[in-house]
Structure 1
């Protein structure tokens, strides 16, 4: 029997009612899944631009590398415990002498543009970086490919890297640092330091760059839904600069920020903010321009300067408890490479005065600043970055120096200006702050370059420890290097700042400080694995089953009942 208009009208009304109840719920759920936006801030570096995040154009400091690492993967990467896991490499093995390394790559990995990742991309990347190492300061300072003799790919998922000689920190300073690049994009790029097209940030990483604003110093990434370790737990990752991280956290302008110890104390009343901390492989040191200054080239003058500083007091006044005093041997005391048996320089102004007298600066000018027999003042320009802690440190150094007759002219500048002046050797003294790294190959071997101190015994030890595969024997060599640093004072590590960050745990929970740092020692909470294995809004990161294929499950109990009721009534009317 045909349905009359009344029956049809009733049936349509029932379906309309069902849709009213079902569609808003489904839409709300989808909206929630598609709008997991997380905003973070590099609050300690508010004047810094971390650079365009390609492998050759990021600003060559830790924050720049982190911005790049979201887009690009290395062969291996440190996890929450500091243990290396495979990223693009699924597994690996090495010969007994440490010369030949074989990597078995993950299969079914694709670049952000959908092209397949193969072993040829690894071979291309290493050869390209060897060729272009000095084109960009990033390449020459970050990617150590000089130790590699050759690299080949016997098949699409196997790479064999042969070294020129054993290299103790190969995993720490090469494998987990070099970002693998797509050959199909970079093979025709002659100058990677100027290449900043959209495809320059195509990688295999967990995030895809959507926007980089150099003027605003901001970054916006979207999640790589096809990431081989699993889809990130957020959809959009944003980094912004904020001049007041405490206010930004309290108002919700940002969800997470790196902080100083003092800033952490200001958040004690915020229950929704979770604070984590980590050892600060982040040194604040007094850097001397040894090659260009005859006075500072005198080891006894540098020692006198060390004795004139009460580093414990300075640390307390600058950090208020958020750090540890510097080690004259440079290696932080919480490092496994730390050697305590080095010369110490306890605060001793009398000794400092005597040493300066002996160095030929017995007389003083009318303002109390020492002068040599020719009337030349014992006075230096002190270059320093304008962030708050460096400013305070510079002022305290000026005060302590004046007590022993050393004059200091303060010369502030933003971080990039300071980096540029120090890098070009255009300074006398500088407060230099940076990650110390955690691997001796980075932490200590760079001293002749970073200080201008050329000691033949030190350089011999530096070379030997890099090829010593026995860690116990290598530790003995590194200990001797620390003794030489402390005895010669090529730099003064005043203190190491602990690391702190706060995050709105009601939105995201999962940040951690990687033991020994990231990519050779970057001591930050932004290990990209946090966004893979962390929790969004308290939800587990384990993949949930997609129940949308089951119509009864997807519309819920009410919808199922309503559909059945409509079907029953429709059948009843049709049979009447």
Structure 2
């Protein structure tokens, strides 16, 4: 039941889906250090995700991945937390408003130009003037070069998510290339993909969805393991990896049964695409908190995972944050599947159960569910 002018709140994430990553792996004995490899091929159904600069790439995960091979941020994140990238150390004041970063020394851009603190200052100032889709720098008050390898970033107010949402997301760009660029979204020259990251862009073909990356031998974290990375458009990912055309693909969970008896390595994990149930709070009966709670207790999330995702997913959690999110609070109370509790709440709202439906004042309870095809 929707109107043009609506006030919608996600009551809970219904399902969080899984993805399957499939690898073809070369042999290596226990305890052996793997030798450096030549070309690693990644298959993708979509193909093109834009020119891999902070401004021209697709403004979500796939675009970020393709850009991150070329450009680095001040910090990065692994499964344990934040780790050094262009900044080897950082600290903040007691209030959490001023961050000081000590940058790595000896870092060079892909064209051989030394990376400096001035590039960091320039990047943040440039991206405040020319916003990207990746980070909102409106909270950044000032960026100052303290020394040749130290930068201080002052925020307008404390921000606990600064490292996650800004310092770990903003790709540092070189002043000597971008300073004169007035329209960054249209800047798609070879100079536009000069970064400090582990790979240089060797070739890009938009029509074919083709990305060819070459290892940056002077990368500050060491020589990359693969000499080249290729990202290719494939129409049938599962067949492409089984034939050996590519080394890596992602497939839908329903393909799992067909792959279990193969020699492929399968890694299963969650992704950030959620299925949500949303209500129009301006329409009765959704304007009643108790009614929305009754609906929440009436949905068997475990059964939904089994039937809709074939068991490859997670039941949702209350609110807009999925249970696999970095921001999820597992201590928040949920809504267990409990039809007796649903009936109890509805009766408290004046509804009475008549057979298989509820009615109030002689009118059956009927809800309209709108979904995309």
Question: Using the alignment, how far apart are the partners of 1:325 and 1:144 within structure 2?
Answer: 31
**Can you give the 5+ residue segments of structure 2 that lack an aligned partner in the other structure?**
1-34
Task: Kindly state the Cα deviation for residue 213 of structure 1 after the two structures are TM-superposed.
Answer: 3.3
Q: Quote the residue 2:92 is aligned against.
A: 94
Paired residue secondary structure (2:66): helix
Residue-by-residue CA offset, 1:300-338 (whole Å, 9 max, x unaligned): 564454345322111012332322211224441786842
Question: Using the alignment, how far apart are the partners of 1:233 and 1:202 within structure 2?
Answer: 20
Task: Kindly state the Cα deviation for residue 246 of structure 1 after the two structures are TM-superposed.
Answer: 2.1
Q: Quote the residue 2:55 is aligned against.
A: 56
User: Closer, same or farther in 2 for the Cα pair 1:294/1:111, shift >3 Å?
Assistant: farther
Residue-by-residue CA offset, 1:337-375 (whole Å, 9 max, x unaligned): 423442414163994798599699x99xxxx9x9x9999
Q: Is the 8 A contact 1:327 1:333 kept in 2?
A: no
Between structures 1 and 2, the one with greater helix share: 1
Structure 1 residue 111 corresponds to structure 2 residue 114 = no
Q: Quote the residue 2:190 is aligned against.
A: 198
Paired residue secondary structure (2:186): coil
With 159-168 and 325-334 compared, the bigger mean Cα shift is at 325-334
Question: Using the alignment, how far apart are the partners of 1:292 and 1:72 within structure 2?
Answer: 46
Q: Is the 8 A contact 1:76 1:85 kept in 2?
A: yes
Q: How does 1:22-101 map to 2 (within 5 A)?
A: 36-42=38-44, 46-47=45-46, 49-79=48-78, 81-101=79-99
User: Closer, same or farther in 2 for the Cα pair 1:190/1:292, shift >3 Å?
Assistant: farther
In the alignment of these two chains, the number of paired residues is 336
Q: Quote the residue 1:401 is aligned against.
A: none
Q: Is the 8 A contact 1:125 1:183 kept in 2?
A: yes
Alignment TM-score, normalising by the size of structure 1: 0.51
Q: Quote the residue 1:275 is aligned against.
A: 266
Q: Is the 8 A contact 1:308 1:347 kept in 2?
A: yes
Structure 1 residue 306 corresponds to structure 2 residue 305 = no
Residue-by-residue CA offset, 1:488-507 (whole Å, 9 max, x unaligned): xxxxxxxxxxxxxxxxxxxx
Q: Quote the residue 1:344 is aligned against.
A: 335
**Can you give the 5+ residue segments of structure 1 that lack an aligned partner in the other structure?**
1-32, 384-410, 412-576
Structure 1 residue 177 corresponds to structure 2 residue 169 = yes
Task: Kindly state the Cα deviation for residue 181 of structure 1 after the two structures are TM-superposed.
Answer: 0.8
RMSD of aligned C-alpha atoms? Answer: 3.7
Task: Kindly state the Cα deviation for residue 237 of structure 1 after the two structures are TM-superposed.
Answer: 0.8
Q: Is the 8 A contact 1:75 1:87 kept in 2?
A: yes
Q: Quote the residue 2:228 is aligned against.
A: 236
Paired residue secondary structure (1:235): strand
With 55-64 and 94-103 compared, the bigger mean Cα shift is at 94-103
Q: Higher Cα Rg: structure 1 or 2?
A: 1
Alignment TM-score, normalising by the size of structure 2: 0.76
User: Closer, same or farther in 2 for the Cα pair 1:241/1:123, shift >3 Å?
Assistant: same
Question: Using the alignment, how far apart are the partners of 2:339 and 2:369 within structure 1?
Answer: 21
Q: Quote the residue 1:481 is aligned against.
A: none
Q: Is the 8 A contact 1:328 1:345 kept in 2?
A: no
Q: Is the 8 A contact 1:39 1:237 kept in 2?
A: yes
Q: Quote the residue 1:321 is aligned against.
A: 311
Residue-by-residue CA offset, 1:10-31 (whole Å, 9 max, x unaligned): xxxxxxxxxxxxxxxxxxxxxx
Paired residue secondary structure (2:185): coil
Structure 1 residue 222 corresponds to structure 2 residue 214 = yes
User: Closer, same or farther in 2 for the Cα pair 1:337/1:353, shift >3 Å?
Assistant: closer
